[in-house]
Amino acid sequence: MTSPPLPARLSVVVPCFNERANVAPLVARLEAALAGIAWEAVFVDDNSPDGTAAAARAIAARDPRIRCLRRIGRRGLSSAVIEGALSSSAEFVAVIDGDMQHDETRLPLMLTRLAAGEGDIAIGTRYAKGGDAGGLAGGFRQRLSRLGIAFAQLFLPSPVSDPMSGFFMMRREHFEEIAPRLAGSGFKILLDLLFNARPPLKVIEIPYEFRARAFGESKLDALVLAQFAGLLIDRVLHGAVPLRFIAFSGVGLVGVIANLAALAAGRALGLGFSPAQAIATVIAMVVNFQLNNSLTYRDQRLRGARLWRGLALFLLFCGIGAVADLGIARTLYEDHNSLTVSGAAGAIVAVVWNYAISATLVWRTR
Ligand code: GDD
Ligand code: MN
């Protein structure tokens, strides 16, 4: 009879997407860094096509400290971190990227300082004395990162040198208490935690050197940045309006511009107002559908046959909304100066209607 392994004191949550080549080396590094600590690692993989989950399970099959959480039909760094942390029963949870860009040798220091009661959250920072953002690919990424930080700083209760960090540790019970209030979308789980903790978290800053990526590529792209903007808007509105509705409305605005541009093009080609507007409306709806599918509902993105079914539903029901919208386009087109109150009301009715249909019929949560 062998006795069961000791329960972990520290759970290391590793969000990963297409990180197969990094899994085994990362486990080896954690093992070296966390010697003497009862730890476990939870790899949260969003069904990566490269077989990341299988790589994690292969290790888990011989090492009980390793677990793999494989999520299907969803994407997102923040929600992966939340689910990984909530799957843990350890006293402390840490979050670290699965690409070895974060310095795992800082974990014991984070644990010691948290356990000593020096603060509520230990944050790995690239921007305090002793830290280094050298591994950020290119000057553009560096400037972008600094700009985002300066912006986020405006909304934080107390200064944090690296609020975009994806490398931090806190008590699991504390995380659980904040979890129901987290927006959970996009990349910025730390910012989300800092915004939603009541009272504000007392921060311990742990400088580290951000390493260059060895294998694979970054998943941070324009859509991720748009989600970041959404998180800040949400902060300004104090959560009064759902984030999805904000994204949906932003997309709708792009649709209106697409509509007007297509209408002008149709008219220039000699089409009458009504046929030009009809074609422009369909173009705008397709643009809206595509943007909503890849941005607003990124986590439930429709593909293949479901995509076509979704598009058909969207065109059908939003077409009804478009009839309400038609009046506005007409007024704008025929008389530039009469953006009337009734026109604005028409747009609001249309966007609420479209949103209701989208949320319930087109991208309904499975
Ligand atoms: N499960 C899951 N789902 N994991 C994801 C997803 C996703 O949709 N997107 C990214 N990840 C994982 C990656 O596999 C990686 O382990 C980690 O999250 C960070 O993603 P990267 O694509 O490597 O991001 P980065 O290096 O550009 O950004 C990192 O540095 C930023 C600061 O510059 C992250 O740590 C960010 O959180 C941090 O803000
Ligand atoms: Mn990375």
Q: Is residue 44 within 6 Å of ligand 1 at its C-beta?
A: yes
Least confident interval from 42-46, 69-73, 197-201, 344-348: 344-348
Q: Of all atoms in ligand 1, which is nearest to the CA of residue 46? A: 1
Ligand 2 centroid, distance to 272 Cα (angstroms): 52
Q: Is residue 218 within 6 Å of ligand 1 at its C-beta?
A: yes
Ligand 1 centroid, distance to 219 Cα (angstroms): 6
**Res 75 pLDDT > 70:** yes
- Looking at residue 73, its pLDDT comes to 85
Least confident interval from 242-251, 289-298, 322-331: 322-331
- Looking at residue 219, its pLDDT comes to 74
The DSSP call for residue 361 is I
Q: What pTM value is reported for the model?
A: 0.72
Q: For ligand 1, atom 8, which residue shows the shortest CA distance?
A: 76
Q: Is residue 76 within 6 Å of ligand 1 at its C-beta?
A: yes
Per residue in 347-362, pLDDT (tens digit) is 777 788 888 888 888 8
Q: Which fold has domain 10-236?
A: Spore Coat Polysaccharide Biosynthesis Protein SpsA; Chain A (3.90.550)
Ligand 2 centroid, distance to 99 Cα (angstroms): 6
**Res 201 pLDDT > 50:** yes
Q: Of all atoms in ligand 1, which is nearest to the CA of residue 44? A: 1
Task: Provide mean pLDDT across the span 290-319.
Answer: 89
- Looking at residue 335, its pLDDT comes to 60
261 Cβ contact list (under 8 Å, min separation 6): 280
Q: At what angle do helices 222-236 and 189-196 cross, to 10 degrees?
A: 0
Half-sphere exposure of 237 (CA within 13 A, CB side): 14
Q: Is residue 131 within 6 Å of ligand 1 at its C-beta?
A: no
Per residue in 190-199, pLDDT (tens digit) is 989 998 999 9
**Between 50 and 152, where is the model more confident?**
50
Per residue in 79-112, pLDDT (tens digit) is 999 999 999 999 999 999 999 999 999 999 999 9
State the residue for tokens 């060895």: 214
pLDDT over 70 percentage in the chain? 87
Average confidence score pLDDT of the chain: 87
What are 359's two structure tokens?
A: 């949320």
Q: Is residue 77 within 6 Å of ligand 1 at its C-beta?
A: yes
**Res 19 pLDDT > 70:** yes
Task: Provide mean pLDDT across the span 121-143.
Answer: 77
- Looking at residue 80, its pLDDT comes to 97
- Looking at residue 228, its pLDDT comes to 73
Question: What's the pLDDT band for 183 if we cut at 50, 70, 90?
Answer: confident
The DSSP call for residue 300 is G
- Looking at residue 113, its pLDDT comes to 98
CB of 203 closer than 8 Å to CB of 170: no
Per residue in 22-54, pLDDT (tens digit) is 999 999 999 999 999 999 999 999 999 999 999
CB of 44 closer than 8 Å to CB of 13: yes
Test site for ligand 1: of 47, 125, 142, 219, most ligand atoms within 8 A of the Cβ: 219
Across the strands, what pairs with 205? 123
What's the distance, CA 251 to chain centroid? 17
What is the DSSP pairing of strand 92-95 with strand 168-171? antiparallel
268: left (phi over 0), alpha (psi -120 to 50) or beta: alpha
What are 366's two structure tokens?
A: 């499975």
- Looking at residue 277, its pLDDT comes to 83
Which numbered ligand comes closest to the C-alpha of 126?
Answer: 1
CB of 197 closer than 8 Å to CB of 87: no
Q: For ligand 1, atom 26, which residue shows the shortest CA distance?
A: 218
Which numbered ligand comes closest to the C-alpha of 13?
Answer: 1
Q: Measuring CA to CA, how many Å separate 275 from each of 41, 119, 175?
A: 60, 64, 56
Test site for ligand 1: of 27, 77, 136, 187, most ligand atoms within 8 A of the Cβ: 77
Q: For ligand 1, atom 35, which residue shows the shortest CA distance?
A: 166
**Highest mean pLDDT range out of 39-48, 132-141, 328-337?**
39-48
Which numbered ligand comes closest to the C-alpha of 190?
Answer: 1
Q: Is residue 166 within 6 Å of ligand 1 at its C-beta?
A: yes
191 C-beta neighbours (distance < 10 Å), count: 25
- Looking at residue 339, its pLDDT comes to 45
Question: What's the pLDDT band for 344 if we cut at 50, 70, 90?
Answer: low
Which numbered ligand comes closest to the C-alpha of 167?
Answer: 1
Give the E-state strand segments of the chain in sequence order: 10-16, 39-45, 66-70, 92-95, 121-125, 168-171, 203-207
Each domain of the chain, given as residue ranges in start order, spans: 10-236, 243-362
Ligand 2 centroid, distance to 144 Cα (angstroms): 15
